[in-house]
Amino acid sequence: MYTQALNNNSDAADRTIEDAAHTTAFQARIDAEARIEPNDWMPAAYRKTLVRQISQHAHSEIVGMLPEGNWITRAPSLRRKVALLAKVQDECGHGLYLYAAAETLGASREELVDAMLAGKAKYSSIFNYPTLTWADIGVIGWLVDGAAIMNQIPLCRCSYGPYARAMIRVCKEESFHQRQGYEIMLTLCRGSAAQKAMAQDALNRWWWPVLMMFGPPDQASQHGDASTKWKIKRFSNDELRQKFVDATVPQAQYLGLSIPDPGMTQDEEGHWRHGAIDWSEFKQVLAGNGPCNRDRLAARRKAHDDGAWVREAAAAYAEKRKFRQAAQAAE
């Protein structure tokens, strides 16, 4: 669904001395807004940053299937059931697409997935919150996908070609998901008192975690500089967060819902200024202590482990077939 500014590895420390001429030419291409393609020379730190970011993004798509998947079997109408299943399937497609983009940088899907299952790779913290009611499916589409779009639209111009191209398609689908989510909210808010209360409750629970999706405040972000120079990141966490809040407040007003932030004010330029974010909660969720961290990893590990014999069977059959075809050809 989206990638998060979780990046706290110290690339600068790992960076070895690169060929100075290569580096200069590389940066000149980036500065000229040219795309870097898989076979082009690139600094090791650029490659590493991209593999980390793209794989975190892919893991987020796959883990992100779980909270919404939680409602596929209980969707309240056949139309909603089909739309939700198709949406979760889209997320899976995004994951596949992104793993393929990471593979162009020399990282295999298998090793990336293993790192995630081992708890060594991150995914978006938002998916560590539970979906308790149907309204959560509306809020996820409206706000979580809405925040994802804010983050991903600039990535369509990312300097790395395969990632940028993947993002163009992903953004189209996400924007459809967002409208679908908003339409769920609209239906709830025009429905019974119980449905409207369900919508407000979901907004209350998701609002702050969604703001945290943009990552730590700029002064605390350890990572922006290199990514900005390489044109992987084009806006700061706080800039994107502000854009999102400005776009979302009028949408909430239209629904007749209150943003659960008593400190929110509108400044003279028209920007909606949110109150203080509880970053200790964010840190706890990143550290594995969110409400669903254990459940999410357990579900992914179970799917992986239960499916091992199937993957082995497919590989064994493919081997046998290759062998038989070779034997046939030799006859």
Partner 1 sequence: MTAPSISVSETPLVLYTLRRADDALILGHRLSEWCGHAPMLEEDMALSNMALDLLGQARTFYTYAAAVEGNGNDEDKLAYLRDVRQYRNLLLAELPNGDFAHTMVRQFFYSAFADLYWRAMMTSSDATLAAIAAKSEKESAYHLRHSSEWIVRLGDGTEESHVRAQRAIDDLWAFTGEMFAVDDSERGLIEAGIAADPAALRPAWLGTITAVASEATLVLPGNDWMQQGGRSGRHSEHLGHLLSELQSMQRTFPGATW
Among 134, 206, 244, 272, binds partner 1 (CB under 8 A): 134
Token digits for 214? 């943009």
Burial readout 190-221 (b: 16 or more C-beta within 10 A, e: otherwise): eeeeebbebbbbbbebbbbbbbbbbbbeeeeb
β-pair partners for 160: 36
Token digits for 259? 């943003």
Count the residues in the chain: 331
192 touches partner 1 (CB under 8 A): yes
- Residue 23 CB, shortest distance to partner 1, in Å, is 36
Phi-psi region of 129 (alpha: psi -120 to 50; beta: other; left: phi over 0): beta
Interface with partner 1 in residues 148-187 (CB under 8 A): 184, 187
Smallest Cα–Cα separation from 128: which of 241, 2, 297, 3? Answer: 297
What is the rounded distance in angstroms from the CA atom of residue 282 to the CA atom of residue 288? 10
297 touches partner 1 (CB under 8 A): no
Of 45 and 126, CB closest to partner 1: 126
Taking CB under 8 A as the rule, which mask of x and - marks residues 33-72 in contact with partner 1? -----------------------------x--xx--x--x
Of 45 and 83, CB closest to partner 1: 83
Half-sphere exposure in the Cβ direction for 232 (13 Å, CA): 24
100 touches partner 1 (CB under 8 A): no
Among 157, 169, 311, 322, binds partner 1 (CB under 8 A): 311
Tell me the site size for partner 1, rule CB under 8 A.
47
User: Which positions lie near partner 1, rule CB under 8 A?
Assistant: 62, 65-66, 69, 72-82, 85-86, 88-89, 92-93, 95-96, 99, 134, 184, 187-188, 191-192, 194-195, 299, 302-303, 306-314, 316-317, 320
